Amino acid sequence: MSGWSCLVTGAGGFLGQRIVQMLVKKEAVKEVRALFRTFSLKHEEELSKLQTKAKVTVLKGDILDTQCLRRACQGISVVIHTAATIDIFGAASRQTILDVNLKGTQNLLDACVEASVPTFIYSSSVAVAGPNSYKEIVLNGREEEHHESTWPDPYPYSKKMAEKAVLAANGSLLKNGGTLHTCAIRLPFIYGEECQVILTVVNTALKNNSKIKKYASFSIANPVYVGNAAWAHILAARGLRDPKKSASIQGQFYYITDDTPHQSYDDLNYTLSKEWGLCFDSSWSLPLPLQYWLALLLETVSFLLRPVYNYRPPFNRFLVTMQNSVFTFSYKKAQRDLGYEPLVSWEEAKQKTSQWIGTLVKQHGETLNKKSQ
């Protein structure tokens, strides 16, 4: 099991960074190749801190560049594919999302076959399972229940089709005569330090007299801490490389959650930030059915204007549904097949994330002080 090498795509992302760090610190890897689309000074500093025997190679390239992917995969034992355009607001064009999430994944699978990479782990999303309606209730859902998203929106559709491609590629013949083994990790909302969604929520609240706007009060979700999400990928890599475990993991997908309490997204934001004086905005908000029908109206306006003007609504039906559904999953299958147990407890995850939010609040206060001087 020792002396293997791993390529991590999306290595500059929230999840990808943690996977790179964890591979270096916890695994007997000889090399980690970190594929970045944009590589900053901050990333360079973080990677230089990884004092270890493992070699960390930075590759700057795009998931749509087939030549780059072939070079990146040469001599690699495992590919962990986290690169994706995560867009539930409709900010990016449909074609961009499909290109990166679907075409990019297929490009990487093809590169693995060409370079004879035997192990491929895909970072998927619970969005491939739904929810299809805010009236639908899924509590502690399991893999064998076959939940599937019916949304045509580019993000859930592209992640669903990419996951299908990855699982269908399991058993493919490699160029050297070996066999490709694949699995997918389905993740819910990932939180923790540097989470861009929480960053936006906190910064918006700080500009609004420390009041958090409610947007997801009707949801019951089980978010996962970023360290636990990364850990599941490490265990999947171990499992697929282990001849004793591999057969039960190949071609499978796994829901990964942790012991974060089931709660609404609004309550999660409040719980993580209340120590720093943030509280809910008590202003009136639209009832859920009205939000949904308003979203439909805005989508219709956007569709009708498309020939002459690219109008992007502030929200859509998929977003309203996702943020206001009872939609939680169990990690029992991952526990059984991968030996997955959350590495970080809820209390520790809450403390780490809250401390990071505290730095944001202090930075905001310092900025205001400078402006007033």
The least confident of 90-99, 251-260, 265-274 is: 90-99
d(CA 176, CA 14): 34
- Catalytic residues, which ones? 159
**Is 218 inside any structural domain?**
no
Q: State the residue for tokens 């990019």.
A: 104
With a cut of 90, say whether residue 89 has pLDDT above it.
no
Domain of residue 102, residue span: 4-192+223-259+329-343
Q: What percent of the chain has pLDDT over 70?
A: 98
d(CA 356, CA 273): 10
Q: Residue 312 is which amino acid?
A: R
Burial 6-44 (b: 16+ CB within 10 A, else e): bbbbbbbbbbbbbbbbbbbeebebebbbbbbbebeeebe
HSE of 114 in the Cβ direction (CA atoms, 13 Å)? 15
**Is 315 inside any structural domain?**
no
**Is 241 inside any structural domain?**
yes
Q: Which of 121, 144, 162 is nearest to 250 (CA)?
A: 121
pLDDT tens, 45-84? 777 777 577 888 999 999 999 999 999 999 999 999 999 9
Helix (H) or strand (E) holding 4, with range, is strand 4-9
d(CA 36, CA 61): 6
HSE of 343 in the Cβ direction (CA atoms, 13 Å)? 14
The token pair that represents 70 in the structure block: 């072939």
With a cut of 50, say whether residue 1 has pLDDT above it.
no
Q: Which of 93, 94, 157, 133 is nearest to 322 (CA)?
A: 133
**Is 309 inside any structural domain?**
no
Alpha helices in the chain (DSSP H): 14-26, 41-48, 66-73, 94-98, 104-115, 154-168, 196-206, 226-241, 246-249, 265-273, 288-305, 317-322, 332-338, 346-372
**Is 187 inside any structural domain?**
yes
With a cut of 80, say whether residue 42 has pLDDT above it.
no
- Residues 111, 73 contacting (CB under 8 angstroms): yes
- Residues 357, 202 contacting (CB under 8 angstroms): yes
Quick one: pLDDT at residue 11? 93
Q: Which of 288, 239, 238, 258 is nearest to 188 (CA)?
A: 258
Quick one: pLDDT at residue 2? 57
**Is 30 inside any structural domain?**
yes
pLDDT tens, 152-205? 999 999 999 999 999 999 999 999 999 999 999 999 999 999 999 999 999 999
With a cut of 90, say whether residue 92 has pLDDT above it.
no
Quick one: pLDDT at residue 216? 87
**Is 200 inside any structural domain?**
no
**Is 33 inside any structural domain?**
yes
Quick one: pLDDT at residue 336? 97
Q: Residue 162 is which amino acid?
A: A
Indicate which CATH number applies to the domain containing 12.
3.40.50.720
pLDDT tens, 195-251? 999 999 999 999 999 999 888 888 999 999 999 999 999 999 999 999 999 999 999
d(CA 232, CA 18): 11
240 vs 281, which has greater pLDDT? 240
Q: Which residues does 130 contact at the CB level (< 8 Å), separation at least 6?
A: 136, 138, 147, 148, 149, 150, 325, 327
Cis, peptide link before residue 313, omega less than 30° from 0: no
d(CA 37, CA 21): 18
pLDDT tens, 285-318? 889 999 999 999 999 999 999 899 988 888 999 9
> For the chain, how many structural domains are there in total?
1
Cα–Cα separations (whole angstroms), residue 249 to 93, 111, 183, 243: 35, 22, 7, 11
356 vs 368, which has greater pLDDT? 356
